[in-house]
A and B are shown apart, each in its own frame.
Chain A
Amino acid sequence: MSYTIEGETGPWELVIGLEVHAQVVSQAKLFSGAATEFGAAPNSQVSFVDAGFPGMLPVPNEECVAQAVRTGLGLNAHINLVSRFDRKNYFYADLPQGYQISQLYHPIVGAGRITVELSDGSTKEIGITRLHLEQDAGKSLHDQDPSRSFIDLNRSGVALMEIVSEPDMRSPEEAGAYLTKLRQILRYLGTCDGNMDEGSMRADVNVSVRKHGEPFRTRCEVKNVNSIRFVMQAVEAEARRQIEVWESGGTVDQETRLFDTARGTTRSMRSKEDAHDYRYFPDPDLPPLVLEEAWVAELKAALPELPDARRDRYMRDFGLSAYDAGVLVLEKETAAFYEEVARGRDPKQAANWVMGDFFAALNRTKRDIADPPVSARQLGALLDLMADGTLSGKLAKEVFEAMVETGEDPGAIVERRGLKQVTDSGAIEAVVDKVLAGNADKVAEYRSGKDKLFGFFVGQTMKAMQGKGNPALVNAVLKAKLG
Chain B
Amino acid sequence: MSLDPTTVRRIASLARIRLEEQDVARVQGELNGILGWIEQLQAVDTEGVEPLAGGGQGGTQLALRLRADKVTDGGIPDAVLANAPDRAPDREGAFFGVPKVVE
Contacts and interface: CB of A to CB of B under 8 A. Distances in A.
Task: Say whether chain A's binding surface is mostly helix, strand, loop, or mixed.
Answer: loop
B36 interface: no
Given A59-B67, A151-B97, A145 B92 contact: yes
Interface in B30-82: 53-55, 58-60, 62-77, 79-81
B99 A60 contact: no
Contacts of A284: 53-55
Contact of A61 (B59, B66, B98): B66
A290 B64 contact: yes
Given A35-B74, A290-B63, A62 B101 contact: no
A288 B61 CA distance: 9
Interface string A77-105: 00000001000000101000000000000
A33 B68 CA distance: 9
A34 B79 CA distance: 14
Contacts of B94: 41-44
A268 interface: no
Contact of B95 (A47, A60, A150): A150
B73 A147 contact: no
B88 A145 contact: yes
B102 to A, nearest CB: 7
Given A33-B74, A44-B77, A145-B92, A287 B97 contact: no
A20 B71 CA distance: 26
B50 to A, nearest CB: 12
Given A33-B70, A35-B71, A150-B96, A273 B77 contact: no
Interface string A16-54: 000000000011100011110000011111111111000
A287 B69 contact: no
Contacts of A277: 14
A121 to B, nearest CB: 41
A78 B10 CA distance: 39
Contacts of B101: 93, 140, 142, 149
B77 A34 contact: no
Contacts of B74: 32-35, 44-47, 50
A193 to B, nearest CB: 16
B35 to A, nearest CB: 16
Indicate the size class of the contact surface on chain B: 35 or more
Contacts of A148: 86, 88, 97-100
A151 B99 CA distance: 11
A32 B73 contact: yes
B93 interface: yes
A180 to B, nearest CB: 28
Interface residues of A, number: 54
Contact of A28 (B54, B65, B72, B81): B72
B69 A62 contact: yes
Interface in A122-167: 140-142, 144-153
Contacts of B88: 144-145, 148, 150
Given A35-B71, A145-B88, A145-B92, A289 B77 contact: no
Nearest to A24: B69
Q: Does more than half of chain B's interface fall in helix, strand or loop, or is it mixed?
A: loop
Nearest to A62: B66
B90 to A, nearest CB: 10
B103 interface: yes
Contact of B80 (A48, A62, A93, A279): A48
A46 B77 contact: yes
B36 to A, nearest CB: 22
Contact of A63 (B63, B69, B92): B69
Contacts of B60: 288
B26 interface: no
A142 B98 CA distance: 10
Given A45-B74, A274-B13, A284-B54, A64 B99 contact: no
Given A145-B92, A151-B98, A273-B13, A43 B69 contact: no
A65 B66 CA distance: 9
B16 interface: yes
A276 to B, nearest CB: 10
Given A93-B98, A140-B101, A147-B100, A33 B77 contact: no
A60 B66 contact: yes
A147 B99 contact: yes
Contacts of A28: 67, 69-73
A270 interface: yes
Given A274-B10, A284-B55, A289 B69 contact: no
A282 interface: yes
A322 interface: no
Contact of A27 (B10, B71, B80, B97): B71
6 shortest interchain CB distances as A-B pairs = A34-B74, A33-B72, A63-B69, A62-B66, A150-B95, A33-B73
Given A44-B74, A145-B88, 10 more contacts: A27-B71, A28-B71, A33-B70, A33-B73, A43-B93, A59-B65, A60-B64, A62-B68, A144-B92, A269-B103
19 contacts: A28-B73, A42-B77, A42-B94, A46-B76, A47-B74, A60-B64, A61-B69, A84-B53, A91-B16, A93-B98, A141-B95, A142-B101, A145-B88, A146-B100, A270-B103, A277-B14, A286-B64, A287-B63, A289-B63
